Amino acid sequence: GENVEQHPSTLSVQEGDSAVIKCTYSDSASNYFPWYKQELGKRPQLIIDIRSNVGEKKDQRIAVTLNKTAKHFSLHITETQPEDSAVYFCAASPPVDTGRRALTFGSGTRLQVQP
């Protein structure tokens, strides 16, 4: 089955700096890669996702890049703010027509933005 590795496990940055979280996946058939943000005591929330036919996607201060050849994808947060402090999870999923639709999550990155 799919295996997703996520690094780093913790990340501390100064407000205004950029943060980068990296994930690698094992199943070359995976074609959907979402990122979730989970604040303390709250549910994970989808913040951005990318499909395998796209190399990069941006949404304001966040962006995700995908390298299918190397089987890795990254989350980039620019101009970080204290409210970006949370645990971020990457995930990967195989194509919907394989019957294996479940998302496999990385282990999470705790991002702390220091004011």
Partner 1 sequence: KAGVTQTPRYLIKTRGQQVTLSCSPISGHRSVSWYQQTPGQGLQFLFEYFSETQRNKGNFPGRFSGRQFSNSRSEMNVSTLELGDSALYLCASSLESPGGHYGYTFGSGTRLTVV
* Number of residues forming the site for partner 1 (CB under 8 A): 25
Binder of partner 1 out of 14, 43, 83, 115 (CB under 8 A): 43
User: Which two tokens mark 30?
Assistant: 């995976």
The single-letter DSSP state of residue 93 is: B
Using the rule CB under 8 A, give the single segment among 10-18, 20-28, 65-73, 98-106 that binds partner 1.
Answer: 98-106
- Cβ(31)–Cβ(95) below 8 Å: yes
Q: Decide if residue 96 touches partner 1 (CB under 8 A).
A: yes
Q: Do residues 105 and 4 make contact, with C-beta atoms less than 8 angstroms apart?
A: yes
CB of 41 to partner 1, least distance (A): 9
- Cα–Cα distance, 23 to 12 (Å, whole number): 18
Kindly tell me which residue out of 34, 77, 86, 88 binds partner 1, with binding defined by CB under 8 A: 34
